[in-house]
Amino acid sequence: MAEDLDNLIICKKCRTLHRKIDLPAKKVARCAVCGHKLYSDVEGAFAKAVSYSITSLILFIVANLFPIIDVYVKSNHSQLTIPSMISTLFSEEFYVVGSIVLVVVVIAPLSVIFSYLALWFLTYFKLSKSLAKHIISFLMVSRSWAMVDIFAVSILVALVKLFGYAQINYGVSAIALALFVMVDLLFLKSIKPVELWTYFSRVYYER
């Protein structure tokens, strides 16, 4: 009975019940009534998630290497980078805030990215089934801790307050950070948690 329920899926748009089938590569299953997307081939979805993770890693490195903004206030000039901001929080003894920013802006996003890359490596070569299982379980938790989008919005709010007092020039990292947020949103939607488990089962049990 439980296995029968696992093979059923409900359309989120019109609530029509469908029976799931294995899809060919790069194919998408749509609702027979309204045409809404139900699910996609898990191998294609996972490959897309891995490609997004590689893109995110490149953008993340650029966003951290260069200044996000240059601020000129009269004769004073300062640059804002993610590492310098975190360092300043700790040097000013804002340890709690600094730790939170470090986790949600640096550690969590990198953990998610490298977890997908590690999972791809393990499943591609069919290595350590138990480790792959632990990585998927970890991804279920760590995804919710990656909040670079909220960090980017907070920077925009701070810039609005500075427009009347300072000259602000955007750096390379500002573009990289904006692109990272967009790719991260696509990354989040590229594969669902249940599809990760389906992909895991297909790699280690069905082949």
Q: pLDDT digit of tens for each residue in the chain (207 aa)?
A: 444 666 788 888 898 988 877 777 667 788 889 988 777 778 888 888 999 999 999 999 998 888 887 777 677 777 778 888 889 889 988 899 889 888 888 888 899 999 999 999 999 998 889 999 999 999 888 877 777 777 777 766 666 666 666 677 777 888 888 898 889 888 877 887 778 888 888 888 765
Indicate if 17 and 78 belong to the same structural domain. Answer: no
pLDDT of residue 59: 93
Indicate if 2 and 17 belong to the same structural domain. Answer: yes
Nearest to 65 by CA among 171, 179, 180: 171
pLDDT of residue 187: 84
User: How many whole angstroms separate alpha carbon 16 and alpha carbon 33?
Assistant: 7
pTM score of the predicted model: 0.77
pLDDT of residue 202: 81
List 57's β-bridge partners, or say none: none
pLDDT of residue 120: 94
pLDDT of residue 6: 62
Indicate if 162 and 139 belong to the same structural domain. Answer: yes
Indicate if 6 and 93 belong to the same structural domain. Answer: no
Read off the tokens for 172. Answer: 């390379």
Helix, strand or coil for residue 44? Answer: helix
pLDDT of residue 161: 65
Nearby residues of 146 by Cβ (< 8 Å), 6 or more positions away: 104, 108, 109, 111, 112, 184
User: How many whole angstroms separate alpha carbon 57 and alpha carbon 78?
Assistant: 26
Indicate if 175 and 128 belong to the same structural domain. Answer: yes
pLDDT of residue 5: 61
Count of structural domains, the chain: 2
User: How many whole angstroms separate alpha carbon 159 and alpha carbon 16?
Assistant: 47
Indicate if 36 and 55 belong to the same structural domain. Answer: no
Domain housing 15:
1-40
Per-residue pLDDT tens digits for 5-31: 667 888 888 989 888 777 776 677 888
pLDDT of residue 1: 44
Indicate if 140 and 51 belong to the same structural domain. Answer: yes
User: How many whole angstroms separate alpha carbon 56 and alpha carbon 132?
Assistant: 21
Indicate if 102 and 168 belong to the same structural domain. Answer: yes
Indicate if 95 and 177 belong to the same structural domain. Answer: yes
Indicate if 48 and 125 belong to the same structural domain. Answer: yes
Indicate if 73 and 17 belong to the same structural domain. Answer: no
pLDDT of residue 119: 94
Type of residue found at 2: A
Nearest to 148 by CA among 115, 172, 120, 113: 113
At 11, which helix (H) or strand (E)? none
Indicate if 118 and 145 belong to the same structural domain. Answer: yes
Residues 83-110 as b/e (b if ≥16 CB within 10 A, e otherwise) read eeebeebeeeeeeeebeebbebbbebbb
